[in-house]
C-alpha cells in the first residue's frame, strides 16, 4: 500500500516524530509498504520545502508562508493536502488531530461530499488535546483552544478508523464517537539505541563504580516541581551516598528550580544535572544507571499519555520505580518488571527507588524482565503488524 502520514510539526526539534511516527513508518516499510511523511516545519522553518530521508522514510517538508500566524494556516494545510494527494495514497493517516495537519484532514474529509475522490482518513491520538489536556498545559490563545478541541472531536468521530496510544485515549475516542471496532490500541514501542558502556558513562560524570546511581530521565512535564523536589529530598535522606542523575530539560527552567531546591534542602551534592543530551550520548548515560525513577502525576494528561521515555528505560533493561498511573500499568508489572506504587505516595516511591539501588539482584531481575516484555509485547514490529491489519480492513470497506 501507499500510505501518507500527516505530521503535526517538523521533524526537529520536537520528539513526536522520532518517538512514534517514524518508527511506525519504518516498520511498515519493512513490511513492504510505501510510506511518505508530510510535515509542516514551523518548528524548524529552515527545512521548509526540503525533502529528506529519516530512518529510511521520505519526509516532505511543505513550504511556509506567505503570511504568518493564523493567516498562514490555509496555505500550509492546502500544501499538506496537495503533497499527500500527489503521492496517490491508498490511505492517509493523521498524527495528532489538531493544527495544520488537522486542517489538511478536514479538507480531505470535505472532498467526497463535493464529488471528489479521496483516500480514507485514519486519525492517531497520543495525547488528550482538548479541555483537561494539552489545551490546559500549553499557552494557546482562546481561538486556538476552541479550534483544537473541535478538531479532536470532529476528526476522531469522522475518521475511517482511529489509533490510540493508551487505554485512556481509547475510552475518550469512544466517547467522541469513534467506532469501537475501528479503534486500535497502539501503544508506543521503545526507541532502540546501541548498548552503552557503564564505565564510560560513569567516568563522564565522575561517578565511582560502586556509587548507587539513580536516573531521572524527564522533560519535567510528568510531575509538578514541588512534588519532585520533595521526592528527591526523601531519596537523598534515605540513601545519603546516592547520586541522582537528571537527564533532560523542562520548558520553563524546571531543572534550575530543582537545583535551587537541592541547595535549600541540603542535597545539592547528590545531584548531577546532565541537561539535554545528544542521542549518541544517551546509551552510556543509561548504562551507567543502577535504576531509574519515574514520578508520574495522576492527571488526565498523564493518564492518556504513552510515555516514550519509560518505554526506552524499560527496553534498555533499567529497573524502574514508578507510579501506577495510566499506561504505566500496561507497560510494566509490579514486582515482575518494575516496582510500582500508588500515585501520590512520595514515601512509597522513595522507598521503592532505594530498594532497587540497594538490592542489585532485584534490580537486575526486574530490568531484564522489563526488556523482554518491551521486546515481546511492545515492539514496533508488533505494532506495524496490527496496524497493517487495520489498514487492510479499512481498504476493504471503502472499495466499491
Give the mean pLDDT of the chain: 94
Q: Residue 49 pLDDT > 90, yes or no?
A: yes
pLDDT tens digit string along 345-384? Answer: 999 999 999 999 999 999 999 999 999 999 999 999 999 9
> Residue for cell digits 511492545?
378
Q: Residue 13 pLDDT > 70, yes or no?
A: no
> pLDDT confidence of 208, banded at 50, 70, 90?
very high
User: What are φ and ψ of residue 342, in 5° steps?
Assistant: -65, 145
Q: Residue 172 pLDDT > 60, yes or no?
A: yes
CA distances, 111 to each of 120, 231, 295 (Å) = 11, 53, 45
Question: What's the farthest any 2 CA atoms get from each other in the chain?
Answer: 70
CA pair distance 246, 271, nearest whole angstrom? 8
CA pair distance 344, 333, nearest whole angstrom? 19
> pLDDT confidence of 43, banded at 50, 70, 90?
confident
Portion of the chain with pLDDT greater than 90, in percent: 86
Looking at the chain, how many residues does it have? 400
Q: How many CA atoms lie within 13 A of 117 on its CB side?
A: 9
Contact partners, residue 264, CB within 8 Å, separation at least 6: none
Same fold, 2-189+379-398 and 198-377: yes
Q: Residue 400 pLDDT > 60, yes or no?
A: no
CATH for 198-377? 3.40.50.2000
DSSP state of 160: S
Q: Is residue 3 within 8 Å of 90, Cβ to Cβ?
A: yes
Which span out of 45-54, 188-197, 385-394 was modeled with the highest average pLDDT?
385-394
Q: Domain ranges in the chain?
A: 2-189+379-398, 198-377
Determine the distance from the C-alpha atom of residue 233 to the mean position of all C-alpha atoms in its chain, rounded to a whole number.
28
CATH for 2-189+379-398? 3.40.50.2000
> pLDDT confidence of 174, banded at 50, 70, 90?
very high
Cis peptide leading into residue 66 (ω within 30°): yes
Q: What is the pLDDT of residue 329?
A: 92
CA pair distance 286, 318, nearest whole angstrom? 8
Q: What is the pLDDT of residue 355?
A: 98
Portion of the chain with pLDDT greater than 70, in percent: 98
The candidate with the shortest Cα–Cα distance to 51, out of 41, 42, 43, 60, is 60
* Torsion region of 297: left, alpha or beta (phi above 0 gives left; psi -120 to 50 gives alpha): beta
Q: What is the pLDDT of residue 18?
A: 77
CA pair distance 120, 13, nearest whole angstrom? 30
Q: What is the pLDDT of residue 85?
A: 98
Retrieve residue 122's grid coordinates: 485514519
Mean pLDDT within 264-291:
93
> pLDDT confidence of 12, banded at 50, 70, 90?
confident
CA pair distance 231, 294, nearest whole angstrom? 11
Mean pLDDT within 29-49:
94
> pLDDT confidence of 15, banded at 50, 70, 90?
low
Mean pLDDT within 160-172:
96
Mean pLDDT within 219-224:
89
Q: What is the pLDDT of residue 399?
A: 63
Q: Residue 113 pLDDT > 80, yes or no?
A: yes
CA pair distance 63, 79, nearest whole angstrom? 7
Q: Residue 156 pLDDT > 90, yes or no?
A: yes
Q: What is the pLDDT of residue 293?
A: 97
pLDDT tens digit string along 224-275? Answer: 999 999 999 999 999 999 999 999 998 889 999 999 999 999 999 999 999 9
Amino acid at each position: 500500500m501507499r500510505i501518507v502520514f500527516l505530521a503535526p510539526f517538523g521533524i526537529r526539534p520536537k520528539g513526536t516524530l522520532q518517538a512514534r511516527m517514524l518508527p511506525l513508518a519504518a516498520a511498515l516499510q519493512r513490511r513492504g509498504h510505501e510510506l511518505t511523511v508530510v510535515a509542516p516545519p514551523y518548528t524548524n522553518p529552515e527545512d521548509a520545502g526540503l525533502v529528506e530521508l529519516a530512518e529510511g522514510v521520505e519526509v516532505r517538508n511543505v513550504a511556509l508562508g506567505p503570511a504568518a500566524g493564523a493567516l498562514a494556516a490555509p496555505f500550509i494545510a492546502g500544501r499538506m493536502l496537495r503533497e499527500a494527494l500527489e503521492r496517490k495514497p491508498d490511505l492517509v493517516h493523521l498524527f495528532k488531530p489538531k493544527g495544520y495537519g488537522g486542517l489538511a484532514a478536514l479538507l480531505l474529509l470535505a472532498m467526497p461530499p463535493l464529488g471528489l475522490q479521496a483516500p480514507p482518513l485514519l486519525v492517531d491520538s497520543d495525547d488528550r488535546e482538548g479541555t483537561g489536556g494539552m489545551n490546559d498545559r500549553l499557552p494557546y490563545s482562546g481561538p486556538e483552544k476552541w479550534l483544537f478541541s473541535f478538531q479532536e472531536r470532529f476528526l476522531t468521530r469522522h475518521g475511517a478508523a482511529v489509533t490510540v496510544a493508551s487505554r485512556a485515549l481509547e475510552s475518550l475516542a469512544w466517547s467522541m464517537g469513534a467506532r469501537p471496532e475501528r479503534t486500535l490500541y497502539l501503544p508506543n514501542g521503545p526507541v532502540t539505541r546501541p548498548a552503552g558502556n557503564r564505565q564510560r558513562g560513569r567516568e563522564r560524570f565522575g561517578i565511582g563504580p560502586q556509587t548507587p546511581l539513580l536516573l531521572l530521565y524527564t522533560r519535567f512535564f510528568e510531575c509538578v516541581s514541588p512534588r519532585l523536589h520533595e521526592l528527591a529530598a526523601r531519596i537523598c535522606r534515605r540513601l545519603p551516598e546516592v547520586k541522582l542523575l537528571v537527564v533532560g530539560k523542562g520548558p520553563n527552567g524546571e531543572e534550575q528550580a530543582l537545583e535551587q531546591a537541592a541547595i535549600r534542602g541540603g542535597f545539592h551534592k547528590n545531584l548531577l544535572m546532565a541537561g539535554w543530551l545528544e542521542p549518541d550520548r544517551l546509551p552510556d548515560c543509561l548504562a551507567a544507571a543502577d535504576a531509574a525513577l519515574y514520578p508520574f502525576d495522576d492527571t488526565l494528561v498523564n493518564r492518556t499519555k504513552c510515555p516514550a521515555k519509560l518505554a526506552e528505560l524499560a527496553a534498555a533493561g533499567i529497573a524502574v520505580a514508578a507510579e501506577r498511573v495510566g499506561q504505566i500499568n500496561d507497560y510494566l508489572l509490579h514486582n515482575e518488571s518494575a516496582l510500582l506504587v500508588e500515585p501520590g505516595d512520595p514515601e512509597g516511591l522513595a522507598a521503592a527507588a532505594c530498594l532497587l539501588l540497594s538490592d542489585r539482584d532485584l534490580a537486575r531481575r526486574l530490568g531484564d524482565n522489563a526488556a523482554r516484555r518491551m521486546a515481546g509485547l511492545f515492539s514496533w514490529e508488533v505494532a506495524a503488524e496490527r496496524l497493517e491489519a487495520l489498514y487492510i480492513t479499512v481498504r476493504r470497506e471503502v472499495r466499491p
